């Protein structure tokens, strides 16, 4: 059975989210309480909240058609493993990626754990499902030369406008400090590094904070942007602004990287996040300690950071194959 497209929920939708989700009154109240717990207790980011809400809404939309009625807490307790498998099968028929389904299943398990913990519903059938296998992707980093070209060329696309200085500062934060794009865009004017400042306090996922070293070129680029920016604001105002003075969005940075790919002949994998990958990969290749890089990136698990060892080994093997006189015997 095809699943109807579910409307995405945002912070503005929070008031009527219970109406949008096909569920009985008791389940709608549980969902509202769960969202509050995620936001206030788990300190989930707005992006994470939106993803969890979308996953749960999609499941309950399927379930309402599958069972012919809006589900209640009691209905959730009665679901069999076959019902959950039917949902997974429907996602596969709709062509959804395994990675998306794995995340949705994780969201669903988290919700059911919360229901059990709060004595609202319990269902052991969900624990019998296997998470879809997802191919482990190795981050695609740019070379040091390519990363340098990206930062140097960004001004060429701005026709001398102040926005070129802004884009250069943003991209340097991604490559020079390893920030996520959301972390860079969340900085306020009061958090802007001053000349001579050696470290920056960054708030990452789950509101976890970490200190990252600052290169002089990064602080200089930010100072250059602030001097050219036609808009002013107090310490709480966003550091990076769009052409009309509002907060700069991630899509604008992604569009600039797309234009840079065309200008420099870079592959599709050259995205803003690839600059963060490049930061980690180049540190590791230069002898950086894996746990130190974990701290700099703000990874909760070392296994996430260990993916960069695969990148480095792949790069070393490529150099070996190209340069070593005996490399051909290995093929």
pLDDT per residue over 16-49, tens digit each? 444 478 899 999 999 999 999 998 888 777 778 8
Which domains occur in the chain, in start order? 11-128 (no CATH), 144-323 (1.10.443.10)
Q: Which residue has the tokens 């200089």?
A: 220
The more confident residue out of 200 and 74 is 74
Is 205 a catalytic site residue? yes
Active-site option among 39, 66, 98, 205: 205
Active-site option among 52, 175, 225, 308: 308
> Which of 116-120, 174-178, 216-220 tops mean pLDDT?
116-120
Is 308 a catalytic site residue? yes
Is 326 a catalytic site residue? no
Predicted confidence at residue 128, as pLDDT, reads 86
Token pair of 260 as six digits: 């840079």
User: Span 182-203, mean pLDDT?
Assistant: 89
Active-site option among 42, 54, 258, 273: 273
Is 324 a catalytic site residue? no
Predicted confidence at residue 210, as pLDDT, reads 84
The more confident residue out of 72 and 17 is 72
Task: Give all strands (DSSP E) within 156-315, no chain letters.
Answer: 199-203, 209-213
Is 180 a catalytic site residue? yes
Active-site option among 91, 166, 180, 256: 180
State the pLDDT confidence band at 4, using cuts at 50, 70 and 90. very low
Predicted confidence at residue 230, as pLDDT, reads 93
The Cα 5–Cα 61 span in angstroms is 9
Is 103 a catalytic site residue? no
The Cα 209–Cα 52 span in angstroms is 23
Predicted confidence (pLDDT) at residue 308 exceeds the cutoff of 70: no
**What's the pLDDT tens digit per position in 155-187?**
677 666 899 999 999 999 988 888 888 889 999
Q: Which residues are bridge partners to 200 per DSSP?
A: 212
């Amino acid at each position: 059975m095809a699943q109807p497209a579910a409307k995405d929920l945002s912070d503005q939708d929070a008031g009527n989210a219970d109406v949008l989700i096909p569920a009985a009154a008791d389940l709608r109240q549980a969902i509202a309480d769960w969202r509050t717990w995620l936001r206030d207790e788990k300190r989930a980011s707005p992006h994470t909240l939106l993803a969890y809400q979308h996953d749960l809404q999609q499941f309950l939309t399927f379930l309402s058609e599958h069972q012919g009625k809006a589900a209640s807490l009691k209905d959730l307790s009665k679901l069999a493993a076959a019902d959950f498998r039917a949902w997974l099968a429907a996602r596969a028929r709709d062509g959804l990626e395994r990675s998306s389904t794995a995340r949705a299943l994780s969201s669903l398990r988290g919700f059911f754990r919360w229901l059990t913990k709060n004595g609202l519903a319990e269902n052991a059938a969900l624990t019998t499902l296997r998470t879809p296998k997802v191919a482990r992707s190795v981050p695609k980093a740019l070379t040091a030369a390519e990363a340098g070209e990206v930062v140097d060329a960004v001004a060429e696309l701005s026709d001398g406008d102040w926005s070129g200085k802004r884009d250069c500062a943003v991209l340097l934060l991604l490559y020079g400090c390893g920030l996520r794009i959301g972390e860079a865009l969340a900085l306020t004017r009061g958090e802007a590094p001053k000349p001579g400042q050696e470290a920056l306090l960054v708030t990452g996922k789950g509101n976890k904070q970490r200190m990252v070293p600052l290169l002089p070129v990064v602080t200089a680029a930010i100072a250059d942007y602030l001097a050219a920016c036609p808009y002013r604001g107090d310490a709480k105002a966003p550091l990076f602004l769009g052409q009309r003075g509002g907060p700069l969005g991630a899509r604008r940075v992604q569009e600039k990287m797309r234009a840079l790919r065309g200008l420099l002949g870079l592959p599709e994998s050259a995205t803003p996040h690839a600059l963060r990958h490049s930061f980690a990969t180049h540190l590791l290749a230069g002898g950086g300690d894996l746990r130190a890089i974990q701290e700099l990136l703000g990874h909760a698990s070392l296994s996430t950071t260990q993916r960069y060892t695969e990148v480095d080994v792949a790069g070393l093997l490529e150099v070996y194959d190209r340069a070593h006189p005996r490399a051909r015997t290995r093929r």
